[in-house]
Amino acid sequence: MRAGAAQLQRGGLARPRFAVAARRARDVRASASAAPADVAARAGPLGDGATRTAAFHLACPICQTTAFDVPASPAPYQPLTCGRCSRTFETGGASYLDLTLTSGAPQRVYKQRGAQSTELFRQPLISFVYERGWRQNFAGAGFPGPEREYEMAMRYLAPTLGGTLVDASCGTGLFTRLFARSGRFAGVVALDYSETMLRQAQAYFKEDPVLATDSSAPIVCVRADIARLPFATASVDAIHAGAAIHCWPNPQAALAEVSRVLRPGGVFVASTFLTPFAPLGEIVGDDAVRPISQALNPFSGAGGTIKYWDEGELIDLVNSVGLTDYRRDRSRMFVMFAATKPGGE
């Protein structure tokens, strides 16, 4: 725990950049406010050199080469069309843009069904109870609580302040709201695969008086698959995934996408559950308890709803997709870790 806390202090090294980041955020917001009111969603080839006035830059999830520019206040959301793929991606009413692969596709027979963990969080009841009791139970595993987790994440994210943050697997927007309220990002993308989670998130956004002020960052809600992100390569400043990766059906494919879309110097921050043997591992070492954990841990994630992680697995996962500078804070079964896309300043 002490080692993790010491590693967190690295965030202080980026403090001299706060002023630059703040200016960048103001410039982006000013540009967004100057955008023509009728700009709903311009599409064009990425890297075409066109002047962009929209706050959010998304991409076709199929070809990943057609850009979708979405304004800061898309009310209501407009369908997005990719001419290259001859596809129009629909919206979930006023709640979200749907950039999943099957969005808007006429499907008479084929019906995609996700993993058990994915389908669980698409249930309206789960979305309703998530902030009304479900999330609070994480404290028993050592999660310090949303406010403290947000503070920890912001230390890791310090080098990216002023850029665009993707809150991946955002759920009901618990952390999306905190990031947007801070005003330290040019914009926040609330991204999830669950339609019901995004609708619940929108309800919370509308109830939050701070999010209606100029001091907060704009939010766009996007339905997407974490393993097929609708962003151009090297176009995202930071990605956060709070209490999520234990539910991802294919974490390695998802982390490869995270690595692809991050800019050089971009940061990925995530929190998750460690195995029930992690507290013992903190005392005697993870290597010593790993054989017992692998033999006796019933929460392996194979065919189940969630995967409880060995920290060594997380390190291997990060390294395998080309992210570097792994650092973390850990307590009992809770871990928050961060990694960086190499090539930045």
* Selection from 143, 142, 201, 163 nearest residue 17 by Cα: 163
**pTM (whole model) above 0.85:** no
Domain contains 267: yes
Domain contains 102: no
The CATH number of residue 167's host domain is: 3.40.50.150
Q: Phi then psi for 301, rounded to 5 degrees?
A: 90, -10
Domain contains 182: yes
pLDDT tens digits in sequence order for the chain, 345 residues long: 333 333 333 333 333 333 333 333 333 333 333 332 332 333 444 443 333 344 799 999 999 999 999 988 776 899 999 999 999 999 988 889 999 999 998 877 877 776 777 778 778 899 999 999 999 999 999 999 999 999 999 999 999 999 999 999 999 999 999 999 999 999 999 999 999 999 999 999 999 999 988 889 999 999 999 999 999 999 999 999 999 999 999 999 999 999 999 999 999 999 999 999 999 988 999 889 888 887 776 555 444 568 899 999 999 999 999 999 999 999 999 999 999 999 866
Domain contains 210: yes
Q: Phi then psi for 335, rounded to 5 degrees?
A: -140, 135
How many structural domains is the chain composed of?
1
Which amino acid type is present at position 297?
N
Domain contains 33: no
**Measured distance CA(344)–CA(234) in Å, rounded:** 11
Please give the pLDDT value at position 306.
81
Domain that holds residue 164: 114-274+309-341
* Whether 153 contacts 241, CB under 8 Å: no
Residues in the chain: 345
**Measured distance CA(178)–CA(137) in Å, rounded:** 20
**Measured distance CA(340)–CA(38) in Å, rounded:** 37
**Measured distance CA(176)–CA(119) in Å, rounded:** 22
Please give the pLDDT value at position 114.
66
Domain contains 165: yes
Please give the pLDDT value at position 13.
30
Find how far residue 83's CA is from the centre of its chain: 28
Find how far residue 101's CA is from the centre of its chain: 18
Domain contains 150: yes
Please give the pLDDT value at position 238.
98
Domain contains 38: no
